[in-house]
Amino acid sequence: MPECQNCGAFVTKAYARVFTPRGVEQPRVCPDCEDKLRDGGDVREARSPRHS
């Protein structure tokens, strides 16, 4: 099962397919990451704390 490169959390294959480039199976950041987030095609530091 795919795993986030940032926090190590497991993600679904569907999430990895949608949010990673072709040929990459492990996303760089996931919804569980509190310190980083996706910004277009890049990953950036979160500007404020994220709460679920």
Query: Along the 52 residues of the chain, how does pLDDT read in single tens digits?
Result: 899 988 999 999 999 998 888 888 899 888 888 888 777 778 788 777 666 5
Within its chain, how far is the Cα of 52 from the centroid? 15
Query: What pLDDT score was predicted for residue 9?
Result: 93
CB-based contacts of 9: which residues, under 8 Å, 6+ apart? 3, 30, 32, 33
Taking the domains of the chain in order of start, what are their residue ranges?
1-52
